[in-house]
């Protein structure tokens, strides 16, 4: 949809460029948006096939932010977990390169990346009215070609949507799961008193469904 922020998730092995030190953190990079890859989308615009044309992010002016799960994670929230120091258009798509911060909040995520437990990148993008072309393929399904887009954020994620983009490596994913379980247990009391719709929204927000 034009002029609204949308999210697409990609996963391929994320590139880990170094082990990271106490001063600089773990260096990572990868393909955030693959060009030409056709993805099946279900959203408020309906059911359609989508692809990004080469050059779609040529107008990108600023480096995107780096969050975990678009700031929806119970533990990290909207705190940046690192910085994308470089972004560029390659033949295969929009690529990013940067580093994770080295602090208590981010270390479990860096461990998960090193171990390969976190392998996804998710882009938050917006398309102008003249930045997309709609049509239909030979089977009659609606198609969307994105020709212009900008991104404000490329997040680290574990929920893939494209089959070609991403991350990889770690050692402490159990620590992350323990934190998640503790948070869920902590709010269980209030959860019991939620309406059905409130429960559904909560589970979606916290990526449980």
Task: Identify whether residues 84 and 181 lie together within a single domain.
Answer: no
Cβ atoms of 171 and 114 within 8 Å: the answer is yes
Task: Identify whether residues 179 and 106 lie together within a single domain.
Answer: no
pLDDT in tens, 63-113: 999 999 888 888 888 899 999 999 999 999 999 999 999 999 999 999 998
Within a 10 A sphere around the Cβ of 17, how many other Cβ atoms?
Answer: 12
Task: Identify whether residues 105 and 134 lie together within a single domain.
Answer: yes
Task: Identify whether residues 157 and 205 lie together within a single domain.
Answer: no
Task: Identify whether residues 197 and 114 lie together within a single domain.
Answer: no
Helices (H), 9-162: 107-115
Distance CA 72, CA 202 (A): 11
**Domain count within the chain:** 2
What pLDDT, on a 0 to 100 scale, did the predictor assign at position 72? 81
Per the structure, the complete domain to which residue 23 belongs is given by 5-171
Average pLDDT over residues 155-174: 50
Q: Which residues of 64-90 are buried (b: 16+ CB within 10 A; e: fewer)?
A: bbbbbbbbbbbebeeebbbebeebebe
| Higher pLDDT among residues 97 and 25, named by residue | 97
Task: Identify whether residues 148 and 187 lie together within a single domain.
Answer: no
| Higher pLDDT among residues 10 and 41, named by residue | 41
């Amino acid at each position: 949809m034009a002029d609204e922020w949308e999210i697409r998730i990609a996963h391929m092995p994320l590139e880990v460029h170094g082990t990271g030190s106490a001063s600089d953190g773990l260096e990572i990079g990868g393909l955030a948006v693959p060009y030409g890859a056709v993805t099946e989308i279900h959203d408020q615009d309906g059911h359609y096939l989508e692809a990004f044309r080469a050059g779609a992010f040529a107008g990108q002016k600023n480096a995107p932010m780096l969050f975990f799960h678009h700031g929806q994670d119970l533990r990290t929230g909207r705190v940046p977990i690192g910085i994308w120091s470089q972004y560029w258009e390659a033949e295969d798509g929009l690529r990013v390169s940067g580093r994770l911060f080295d602090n208590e909040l981010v270390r479990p995520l860096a461990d998960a990346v090193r171990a390969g437990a976190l392998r996804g990148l998710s882009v938050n993008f917006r398309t102008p009215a003249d930045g997309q072309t709609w049509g239909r393929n030979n089977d009659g399904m609606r198609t969307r070609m994105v020709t212009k887009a900008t991104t404000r954020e490329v997040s680290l994620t574990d929920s893939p949507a494209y089959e070609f983009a991403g991350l990889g490596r770690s050692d402490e994913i159990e620590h992350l799961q323990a934190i998640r379980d503790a948070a869920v247990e902590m709010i269980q009391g209030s959860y019991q008193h939620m309406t059905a719709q409130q429960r559904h929204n909560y589970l979606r927000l916290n990526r449980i469904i």
